[in-house]
Amino acid sequence: MKSSIKPLAIIIISIFGFLIIISHYADRSKLKLSAKEIQLIARSTNYTIDQKKLNEFQNPVLIDLREPKFFNIDHQEKAVNIPLSEILNEEYENLFASETPKLIQAHDQVKANEAWMLLTQLGYKNLYVVEL
Amino acid sequence: MKSREIFSVIILAMGLIAAILPGRKNDSIQLNERELLQEMLLETNYISVDELAQLLISGDPSVQLIDVRPISEFKDPLPRAINIPIDSIFSENYAYMFDQNIMKNIIYGLDDETATQVWMITKQLGYANNYLLKGGLQAWKKDILDPQYPKQTASQDEFDLYQKRMAARQFFTGAQTLPKATFTPIAPIQGKKKKKVQGGCS
């Protein structure tokens, strides 16, 4: 009887260890807010700003979400090009985490609003969407 | 017999540990940020007003339009749309509308802002079958209910699109007259033919 239990015990314990390791690494979502929290924040903040009011911000960073090929054709002065697909890259983390106002622009409002939602979910502050 | 007891105690302890293992911080978050970004970049999640007009005209019964404007602003909705203001998307009466596999939900608002918020929340919760109408009601009114006659220099495609939109307009508003848009390619300017000299002395 003893001999049949030992291998079973080893298998079960090793599976358990494996599970613990997996739960540590897999699927760590960086999103900070639950759906209800983001709903409240999105409703209560007025983050869309008019083109004309751009001057009211002190040292804003203008973030252009378009693809580089469109950005290179024409873009606003001092705008930074961060294509939407690369928005989660580590190199931009510092920029988003900084205190300066960040104004998001894209070639349609849907993309700019989505980027705002995603970045706000990640806990970044001082984000605005520029109205076209 | 003893080793069995020890073994069962160990398994019990492991079960207890597994129960207190840190799970996801927020249970309501189904997608992580990278999956969410993938959804945002997927063009099939969006629907244009022209595609919507075609869907509505074909009478697709699986289309469910969801208007997210506040109740006070809910007037002149799209055909067969229901009103679910963004404040009440989690209320019992409406929550099930977003989390289902039967209907094709098309979310729209007056413009893109509110509809995008609702759409992002449904995506974050991992719900399927939710689509976003690009441009919202404003684009619908501008492009479908009052399409602009293309410029004379416009391409054949633009004239075809205009024809389609006018037909859709007739379908949705019941307008009778259908101004004809004909594409007339600009003909090259032809020089005047030289006239033969006639008459003269003979």
CATH of the domain at B109: 3.40.250.10
- Tens of pLDDT along B152-186? 888 899 999 999 999 999 888 887 666 666 777 77
**CA B56/CA B168 separation, integer angstroms:** 9
In-domain check, residue A45: yes
User: Taking residues B188-197, what's their average pLDDT?
Assistant: 74
- Domain limits at B137? 33-142
The whole-chain average pLDDT of chain B stands at: 86
State whether A38 and B124 contact (CB < 8 Å). yes
Q: Is pLDDT at A2 greater than 60 in this prediction? A: no
As beta bridge partners, residue B132 has B46, B107
* pLDDT for the residue numbered A108: 87
In-domain check, residue A2: no
**Does residue A38 contact residue B121 with C-beta atoms inside 8 Å?**
yes
* pLDDT for the residue numbered A64: 93
DSSP one-letter code for B63: E
In-domain check, residue B183: no
Structural tokens at position B4: 């069995």
Nearest chain A alpha carbon to B6: A9
* pLDDT for the residue numbered B199: 76
Q: Which of A23, A85, A117 sits opposite B41 (nearest CB)?
A: A85
Q: Is pLDDT at A106 greater than 80 in this prediction? A: yes
Sort out which chain B residues have CB atoms less than 8 A from A5's CB and list them.
3-4, 7
Q: Is pLDDT at B26 greater than 60 in this prediction? A: no
Terminal CA-CA length for chain A: 76
Q: Is pLDDT at A113 greater than 90 in this prediction? A: yes
In-domain check, residue A105: yes
Q: Is pLDDT at A63 greater than 80 in this prediction? A: yes
User: Taking residues B116-123, what's their average pLDDT?
Assistant: 92
Sort out which chain B residues have CB atoms less than 8 A from A114's CB and list them.
40, 116, 120
* pLDDT for the residue numbered B134: 93
* pLDDT for the residue numbered B180: 67
* pLDDT for the residue numbered B138: 93
Rounded to the nearest 10°, the torsion over CA A121, A127, A128, A129 is: -50
Structural tokens at position B143: 């492009």
* pLDDT for the residue numbered B11: 85
pLDDT band at A27 (very low <50, low <70, confident <90, very high): low
pLDDT band at A50 (very low <50, low <70, confident <90, very high): confident
Which of A33-42, A93-102, B15-24, B89-98 has the weakest average pLDDT?
Answer: B15-24
Sort out which chain B residues have CB atoms less than 8 A from A19's CB and list them.
18
**Does residue A35 contact residue B29 with C-beta atoms inside 8 Å?**
yes
Sort out which chain A residues have CB atoms less than 8 A from B29's CB and list them.
29, 31, 34-35
* pLDDT for the residue numbered B178: 62
**CA A53/CA A8 separation, integer angstroms:** 70
State whether A27 and B3 contact (CB < 8 Å). no
Rounded to the nearest 10°, the torsion over CA B21, B24, B28, B30 is: -130
Q: Which helix (H) or strand (E) holds B64?
A: strand B63-67
* pLDDT for the residue numbered B16: 86
Regarding predicted confidence, which is higher, A132 or B100?
B100
In-domain check, residue B152: no
Regarding predicted confidence, which is higher, B20 or B117?
B117
In-domain check, residue A28: no
In-domain check, residue A39: yes
CATH of the domain at A90: 3.40.250.10
Structural tokens at position B41: 């970049």
In-domain check, residue B66: yes
Q: Which helix (H) or strand (E) holds A96?
A: helix A93-97
Nearest chain A alpha carbon to B45: A110
Tally the domains of chain B: 1
In-domain check, residue A96: yes
In-domain check, residue B43: yes
DSSP one-letter code for B132: E
In-domain check, residue B156: no
In-domain check, residue B75: yes
Query: If we measure between CA atoms, which residue out of A123, A92, A96, A102 comes closest to residue A59?
Result: A102
Best of B120, B122, B130, B131 to mutate (most A CBs within 10 Å, chain A): B120
Q: Is pLDDT at A33 greater than 70 in this prediction? A: yes
- Domain limits at A41? 35-130
**CA B181/CA B185 separation, integer angstroms:** 12
Q: Is pLDDT at B115 greater than 90 in this prediction? A: yes
**CA A35/CA A41 separation, integer angstroms:** 10
In-domain check, residue A89: yes
Contacts of A125 (CB under 8 A, 6+ apart): A99
In-domain check, residue B5: no
User: Taking residues B16-26, what's their average pLDDT?
Assistant: 69
In-domain check, residue A125: yes
Q: Is pLDDT at A7 greater than 90 in this prediction? A: no
In-domain check, residue B173: no
pLDDT band at A57 (very low <50, low <70, confident <90, very high): confident
* pLDDT for the residue numbered B108: 95
User: Taking residues A91-113, what's their average pLDDT?
Assistant: 91
Tally the domains of chain A: 1
